[in-house]
Chains A and B, each alone.
Chain A
Amino acid sequence: MAGVLVYIEQVGGDVAAVSRELMGKGQELAASLGGPLNALVVGGDVAGLANQAVALGAATVYTVSDASLATYTTDGHVAAAIAAVGAAQPALMLASASFQMRDFGAALAADLDAGLAVDVTDLKVDGGAVSAVRPSHGGNVINTYSFAAGRPVVALVRKQSFAEAAGGASGGTVTSLPLPATTMRTQVNNVAPKTGAVNLTDAAIIVSGGRGLSDKDNYYKLIPPLAEALGGAYGASRAIVDAGWVPYEHQVGQTGKTVSPKLYVAAGVSGAIQHLAGMRTSRNIVAINKDPEAPMFRVATFGLVGDVNEVLPLLTAELRQRLGR
């Protein structure tokens, strides 16, 4: 076992940002492990992605390509990954912690009898051994995992945890692996985009509202326009999701999404422990609340004590003007 194998995810034919992040961190980890950084591309049409993975620094890009792999299935994609693990013999396999990759990574780790860490925020190599940091208990506990020697490690990494690979590398090669024989126990009948779907976990800027917005109309009057002025997405506390103001997909927190954006604006959100669980690792937090004692101020980079009805329209107008939007 040596080196690192990164599972490449794609968005619209390009390597996903999170996979570029994993290639960036993977380079460093592979060097510490004294092995190569390799990548794996699985899908219907893999050539473009494979070339991009070479540019991101992969020594070898393993590809498994077949029409049956164009849509994700656990059986198909895990079988492809096991073939690549057999060829690359990595000490560490990296993928993102998206829902699909959790479906994949946990199944893969079970099949390989590997060590598994999910929702990893940091990785280290010490004396040839990998360790992974992951929060649990709604971010109240930070765990460091060590792994049994002689077994590979599968780490599913939270988005925006690492800097992206620079790109522009060359010299790597592409190795195509044959399609492994697999029993397919599922069949995908349809894949439909969620209407009005926001991928909060991808957003660099998120503006969230809570019960301080008073009602649904006021939420839509104040929060999405501010998010738009910042070029971000909008989120919500569970209180207002449960009240039916905003769809569940927008919920941030322990039972909603876990996000780590560059900027998280919380307006009229108190900062309950379960909400903080979903956003406390954001790089910058702005809290806007009329109660100076609101717990959100304790995690805020910048706090503004004020009434959302007064502050948010001013802030949206100011940003539109200064950012030219």
Chain B
Amino acid sequence: MHIVVCMKQVPRDNSVKINSDLSINADGIEKIINLFDEYAIEEGLAWNEKHGGKLTVLSMGIDEWVEQMRRALAMGATDSLLLKDASFANLDTLAAAKVVAAAIKKLGDVDLVFCGRNSTDDESGAFAPALARALGWAQLTYVGKVLEVDPAGKKVTAERHLETVIETVTASLPAVVSVIKDINSPRYPSLLKIKKVAKIQPPVWTAADLGVSGLSAAATISSRVPPPPRPSGEIIDGPDAAAKVRKLVDKLLENQII
């Protein structure tokens, strides 16, 4: 079977700056595979090992992302694909999903797509559902355990881990699955493997290759600012812990916080 894992590169931490054109400036911050996507890659690898076939790691991004795509190849992905075009730069999540959907359709033989629960920078979590709808496929989001992938019977069964319940759901294949953090333990690629893939250049498909044009963002960012500082707080003083605790409880009651 052919499994695709959608992967983003993100800054390791979010101490980012805001450029004057409202784009995000993460210069100087180390870049990593989006945390949840490492779990998506591991899950893809596990089912690829079981059923054989291809595992393609796919990003709609920029050349810089190739470094993290190579890490996925070192983990065991068999193929890679970069979607890159100047016109992709300012798309919103829904339009980005349409671009990726066009690529998956062009691949033609994809049975299953794994995504992360969300990106840790943009944090929307809308990509996987938007991708599934653009493809007209089933979606299983917030998956904490994949119980069965059955390529012959064309179905996948998984546990969706929601806030207070676990749903066990069977979806028809092809399908899009988004995974949460504790679904598995992602492997570390060996140095040997990292070396082996160091020069691989993923094939690049542009908007023209995909036949996508006229995409526009329905949501655009009109302002971007750092969070307002919290009003400065009060340090509770007292001669000993018991006095401080009494004073704290007084304050919480006075201000009707409890």
Contact = CB atoms under 8 A, between A and B. Distances in A.
Interface of A: 74-75, 98-100, 102-103, 105-107, 109-111, 113-119, 131-132, 135-148, 151, 153, 185-194, 197, 199-202, 205, 230, 248, 254-255, 262-263, 273-274, 277, 280, 283-287, 292, 297-307, 310-311, 314-315, 318-319, 322-323
Interface in B190-237: 216-228, 230-231, 233-236
Nearest to B242: A314
Given A119-B123, A136-B123, A147-B218, A311 B244 contact: yes
Contacts of A262: 257
Contacts of A110: 94, 97, 129-130, 133-134
B166 interface: yes
B182 A248 contact: yes
A181 to B, nearest CB: 15
Contacts of A303: 233-236
A306 B241 contact: yes
Given A142-B225, A301-B234, A314-B242, A103 B129 contact: yes
B164 interface: yes
A303 B244 CA distance: 10
24 contacts: A99-B141, A99-B142, A102-B129, A106-B125, A106-B126, A107-B139, A109-B94, A110-B97, A116-B124, A119-B124, A140-B16, A142-B227, A142-B228, A144-B224, A192-B167, A193-B165, A194-B166, A199-B164, A274-B14, A284-B252, A297-B235, A302-B251, A302-B252, A305-B235
A58 to B, nearest CB: 26
B223 A144 contact: yes
Place the interface of chain B in its size category.
Answer: 35 or more
Given A255-B35, A302-B233, A144 B221 contact: yes
A254 B219 CA distance: 23
A99 B162 contact: yes
B236 A280 contact: no
Contacts of B172: 185-186
B145 interface: no
B168 A314 contact: no
Given A99-B141, A187-B170, A297-B235, A304 B248 contact: yes
A260 B44 CA distance: 34
Contacts of B157: 189
Nearest to B163: A199
A306 B244 contact: yes
Given A301-B234, A315-B248, 17 more contacts: A105-B126, A106-B126, A110-B129, A116-B218, A132-B219, A140-B15, A141-B226, A143-B221, A145-B221, A147-B220, A190-B168, A194-B161, A280-B230, A297-B233, A302-B236, A310-B241, A314-B245
Nearest to B232: A298
